[in-house]
Structure 1
Amino acid sequence: MILLTKYHKSIKLIKVHDQFHCTEDLKDQDLREMLLLDYFSVPLPFIYLFLSLSIIWIIKYLFKSVKRIYSLPPGPFGFPIFGYYPFLKDHSYIQFDRLSKKYGPVFSLKLGQYDTIVVCDWDNLKDAFANDALLARPAKGFLSGIENTLSIISMSGDAWREHRRLSLHVLRNVGLGKREMENLISEEIHQFLYSLENDANDLSQRLMQSVSNNISLMLFGHIFDYDDPDKVAIDESLRDYCQAFQFSGITSYLPWLTKPLIALGKANLKIIQKAQMHLNDFISKELFKHQNGKVENYIDGYLNVQSKRKDQLFNNATLKRNVATFFVAGSETVAGTLTWASMYLVKYPQYQERIRLEIKEVIGTEKRPDFSDRLRMPFTLAFLYEVQRIESIVATNLIRRASQDTKIGPYNVPKDSLVLFNFWSVHHDPKLWSNPDKFDPNRFLTENGNKVVKPPYLVPFSAGKRACPGEGLANVELFLYTVGILQRFKIKSDKPLSFEAINGLTRRPKYKPDLIFQRV
């Protein structure tokens, strides 16, 4: 029998045969714990079985982990949970290049929760470009915790293939690669040169205003005045986004940290989130203008296909994300490359004069340049190729994911591991380029200088099925802007130029170049 006294008073239990006996006083809490344990008592065989199964599971997990580690290419160790990520700096492509010197051209490292394979040489990169098992993206995209809808750039599998097919079809229909679009770009450049003549301050900003208008033509069907309040605001958001975001950033490798870091105001994630919201609002306003059924731009073409489908693969949320992706990528890469090109024209005035001589011989001083003129201007093209090579403004590719177990050359790539292509290493490989740190456009010319040769290992827009779909448009813009500027201006500077870079969405000059555009 069990006798319970009042609360906090001692009790005595005497075990007689099947009863309890205790010679010490116990508090009520002690008694309750004893009775609870007795109620939930587990037979020893079940305990042994549980422990045995747990040990077997741990051994199997460790065995699989060790087997996976040994199947990966060699590479450095990192911390638990975070892996090697805490050691990465802003210019991670340079660190990857240095690690390749120690561990080989293809190496692995743990970045956050993901095994990551880094490819740093052309032979293996060429093999990876052709591998369909390496076409997928990280399962949660590049902005997990910020981006709830994946864009075409973040999609994988059939969803990506269908959106890629549609996007290429629509963009070609509305002018990509056509003479009409080139004429519109030429007209935009004419307006840009007029504004540059009146005020050349902050070339990067002015280039962004102009280049983004070319993208606006294809996406929205119209351009904006440079002083349009909405356009000024969106260009500012675009600049902030491009400076803050990195495809090899924390949202890709440690997605579970995104929301806490946003709350703490760390890692520039609030800037990215704010810019994303601003872009989304801007594009939402544009959507209301495109409900007439005519296909005159990308939004029209997408809505037209969306109205004919019965599934939800094509929807307004994805449309807005696609438009934002094209708008950002198409503006930033061209504006950034043209900024670097202008700086190299100042640093090497002999190259500037050589391009101007080609312009004079092929085009003259009055006629607007055509993209077809490039066929007779090999040095101009060689100069632009060298800018793209030495600066590699997209220094690493957008992260890929292995959709199945595969190989890159002799190296194993397990399913769901991430893959990075380090374009910087390829573009600065002394086995491919003599004196790779020297700026020399002549490396792309034949011996007599009459023909330009672009080697396959110059990959500023990536290559293969996931190459940038806007490469053709970008090449047209780079040529027409460069020739248009030098046809009218001589570029110089009264101050030394810094070629130090910052690395965000692309590599940009760290300091605003102080350039003077003198009418010729």
Structure 2
Amino acid sequence: MAVSQALSYLTVLLDIRAVLVGLIVFLVVSWMVHGYLNQVKNLPPGPRSWPLVGCLPHFLYMKIKNKSNMHEMIETLYKQYGPVCYLSLPFGTKIVMVSGYKAVNESLTCPGLGEDRPPFPQDANPDELANGLGVLMSSGEMWKEHRRFSLTVLRGFGVGKRSFENQITTECGYLITEIEFGQGQPFEPTLLFSNAVSNVICSVVFGKRFEYDDPEFKLLLHWIEGLQDQDNLASVIFLLSPTLAPYLFRIPFFPKGPMASFLNIRRKVQNIVDEHRSTFDKDNMRDYIDAYLSEMQRKNEQGVQTYLSDVELRAVVQDFFFAGTETTSTTLRWALLYMMKFPDVQKRVHEEIDSVVGRNRLPRLSDKPDLPYTQAVIHEIQRYASIVAIILPRYAKHETEFLEFTIPKGSMLQTNMSSATHDASVWEEPDAFKPERFLDDKGQVVEPSHNIVFGAGKRACLGKQLARMELYIFYTHLMHRFSFKKAKDAESLNTQPKQGGVLAPYPYNICAIAR
């Protein structure tokens, strides 16, 4: 009896093992057949791809052996495989990593590669982090309609025009007053700069500015900072397969990364939209939200097909709030850090501003042509810091010939922008801070075509003009009023970036000495 039971158990065990082996063989053969039938000739080079898991083991090996962050891993791939690298990942995800100025610029302007975002799952919840909505992550007609509408509205409110100068100057005045309260004592500028820069876009989108001590405003900025503090696993998921994120984030105990901050901001934005809807007056357009509600109402009443909707409004407003706060405020933090790091540059900027503007008034936009070195310094700060090192992914809707390679249909393109702004083939001494590279032989400012810090092609930064105006006004006003020095008890200046959604400096203390 015992022998019979043992044989029975052994038979069951062998059956289970046979099923498992058969399943593995089936999956491997299916993967090989699928790969053969869908083989694309002339693929870009890349790490070896394994059955089912693709080249994921390669990334894990790099991470464990070298303890590299994602940006370092991408630079390693660039050095090893060249400007176009193909990565096969689990779940059929295909990634094409583009690096170096030539490849980056051509990919951003290529008709088959430069316009679309990866499609998101149809059942993706609009309240999840990556959902294909808004201006940043949408594609096709939805993106085109929102981009056209947004540009029209922003121009209508004066954004990017000289008439908007007073609005930025006023906010800069509040910032300078806050700094003066410190009387030259060390302070950490992150929250203060975020307050000031965010208020500029808030005045356009929300129709108001916030006081710097407003607790709700502080909370909003805290959540924005939380979006940048991505844990490693979440960062890898978003970088390599954003369309997979909605599913993985539903798994209990899976690291959520920036999810909590994102949802908190979204709820706050929804409350602001609801307040606008309850006080909406079509004869009194206060801001972008009112303009959106008015246009959506008009098109619906006329039966015009439109992608404008309540869900889209919330997503677009959130895009503006985040993009209009983080990039410019982070650039200003780098600017002051570099002024401490390169005191000779700071001294020359002071001398030029004093010579052109004098000490009795603040710089204006009309002074800009007469401040070539100052303009060159701003350009160099943006190039040198390269805060948006990896831009949002794009998507190959069709098989596309690119450079000497074939990009498979359905590939996601990840663009290594920092490699373009530090490419030795177009930038002399790219790792040196040299504002003079933006000056010609006559000392006049020039901006070479390979300076693509705002991107290129149809998806170039929508807020480029506003960002440039803000950077010029905030930077020149701060330099006119203060000299920036390292705190006496501070450690040596750290110019290595902190990894996150943007490459920001690590927190530092600075002394603003009134001039």
TM-score (norm 2): 0.84
Indicate whether 1:406 and 2:400 are aligned.
yes
Structure 1 range deviating more: 236-245 or 79-88: 79-88
Q: Does 1:189 align with 2:172?
A: yes
- Mapped to 1, the partners of 2:68 and 2:146 lie a distance apart of 32
1:95 to 56, 73, 96: 73
Greater C-alpha Rg:
1
**Residue number among 482, 487, 491 corresponding to 2:484 in the alignment:** 491
What residue in structure 2 maps to residue 126 of structure 1? 105
- AA aligned opposite 2:376: A
**Of the candidates 71, 88, 92, which is equivalent to residue 42 of structure 2?**
71
- 1:165 and 2:156 aligned: no
Give the AA of the match of 2:263: M
Return the alpha-carbon distance in structure 1 between the equivalents of residues 209 and 262 of structure 2.
21
Q: Deviations 1:205-253 (Å, cap 9, x if unpaired)? A: 1000110000101101110111112111111111111222899641451
Q: How does 1:256-405 map to 2 (within 5 A)?
A: 256=244, 260=248, 263-269=251-257, 272-287=258-273, 288-290=275-277, 291-293=280-282, 294-310=284-300, 311=305, 313-405=307-399
Q: Say which of 479, 489, 492 aligns to 2:472.
A: 479
Distance 2:245 2:117 in 1: 19
Moved more, 160-169 or 429-438: 429-438
CA distance in 2, matches of 1:368, 1:387: 22
Provide the secondary structure at the position in 2 that maps to 1:325.
helix
Give the equivalent residue in structure 2 for 1:20.
none
CA change 1:275–1:312 in 2 (3 A) is farther
How many residues are aligned here? 467
**SS of residue matched to 2:376:** helix
Q: 1:262, 1:244 → 2: CA distance?
A: 17
Q: C-alpha displacement at 1:167, in angstroms?
A: 0.9
Q: Is the 8 A contact 1:94 1:424 kept in 2?
A: no
2-side partners of 1:59 and 1:432: how far apart? 42
Separation in structure 2 between the aligned mates of residue 427 and residue 58 of structure 1, nearest angstrom = 39
Shift of 1:281: 2.2
Partner secondary structure for residue 436 of structure 1: coil
Query: Secondary structure in 2 aligned to 1:244?
Result: coil
For 1:58 and 1:321, how far apart are their aligned partners in 2?
Answer: 38
Residue of structure 1 equivalent to 2:23: none
State the one-letter code of the partner of 1:64. Answer: L
SS in 2 for 1:468: coil
Once residues 260 and 62 of structure 1 are traced to their aligned partners in structure 2, the CA distance between those partners, rounded to angstroms, is 25
CA contact (8 A) 2:48 2:54 kept: no
Answer yes or no: is 1:61 the counterpart of 2:34. yes
Which has the higher relative contact order, 1 or 2, with Cα contacts under 8 A spaced 6 or more apart? 2
Displacement after TM superposition at 1:64 (Å): 2.0
**Higher mean Cα deviation, 153-162 or 118-127?**
118-127
Question: Contact between 1:74 and 1:108, CA under 8 Å: does it hold in 2?
Answer: yes
Aligned match of 1:137: 117
Aligned partner of residue 72 in structure 1, secondary structure? coil
Q: Counterparts in 2 of 1:222-261, with a 5 A limit?
A: 222-244=208-230, 249-251=236-238, 253=241, 255-256=243-244, 260=248
Aligned-partner SS, 2:229: helix
**Aligned letter for 2:330?**
G
Q: 1:462 to 1:248 in 2, by over 3 A?
A: farther
How far off is 1:370 after superposition?
1.6
1:11-48 CA-partner distances (Å, limit 9, x unpaired): xxxxxxxxxxxxxx99xx9xxxxxxxxxxxxxxxxxxx
Aligned to 2:95: 116
Equivalent position of 1:507 in the other structure: 503
2:276 aligns to what SS in structure 1? coil
Deviation at 1:307, TM superposition (A): 0.5
Q: What is the DSSP-based 3-state SS (H/G/I as helix, E as strand, rest coil) of the residue aligned with 2:95?
A: strand
> What CA deviation, in whole Å up to 9, does each residue of 1:284-322 have, x standing for no partner?
222223511132321111111110223462111111111
For 1:101, the aligned partner's letter is: K
3-state SS in 2 of match to 1:108: strand
C-alpha contact 1:462 1:468 (8 A) present in aligned 2: yes
| Residues 125 and 421, structure 1, Cα contact 8 Å, conserved in 2 | yes
Residues 434 and 308 from structure 1, CA distance in 2 versus in 1: closer, same or farther, beyond 3 angstroms? Answer: same
Cα contact 1:394–1:507 (8 A) shared by 2: yes
Please tell me the residue identity of whatever aligns with 1:182: E
In 1, the alpha carbon distance for the partners of 2:503 and 2:80 equals 25
| CA RMSD between the two structures | 2.9
After TM superposition, give the deviation of residue 323 of structure 1 in Å: 0.6
Contact 1:242–1:505 under 8 Å retained in 2: yes
2:97 partner amino acid:
V
Residue 262 (structure 1) shift: 6.0
Aligned to 2:158: 175
Q: Name the counterpart of 1:439.
A: 433
1:362/1:377 contact within 8 Å kept: yes
* Helix, strand or coil at the partner of 2:112: helix
In the TM superposition, what is the alpha-carbon distance from 1:55 to its structure 2 partner?
12
- Describe the SS at the equivalent of 1:447: coil
Deviating more after overlay: 317-326 vs 125-134: 125-134
Q: Is residue 138–residue 418 contact of structure 1 (8 Å, CA) maintained in 2?
A: yes
Counterpart-to-counterpart distance in 2, 1:279 and 1:105: 37
Unaligned runs of 5+ in 2: 9-26
Q: CA deviation at 1:102?
A: 2.1
> C-alpha distance in 1, partners of 2:293/2:413?
34
Residue pair 1:171, 1:297 contacting (<8 A) in 2 also: no
The 1:441–1:57 alpha-carbon spacing in structure 2 relative to 1, beyond 3 Å, is closer
Measured in 1, the distance between the counterparts of 2:343 and 2:298 equals 56
Structure 1 length normalisation: TM-score?
0.83
Contact 2:47 2:55 in 1 (8 A): no
1:101-137 CA deviation, whole Å, 9 max, x = no partner? 2222212112444211122122222322222222110
One-letter code aligned to 1:280:
R
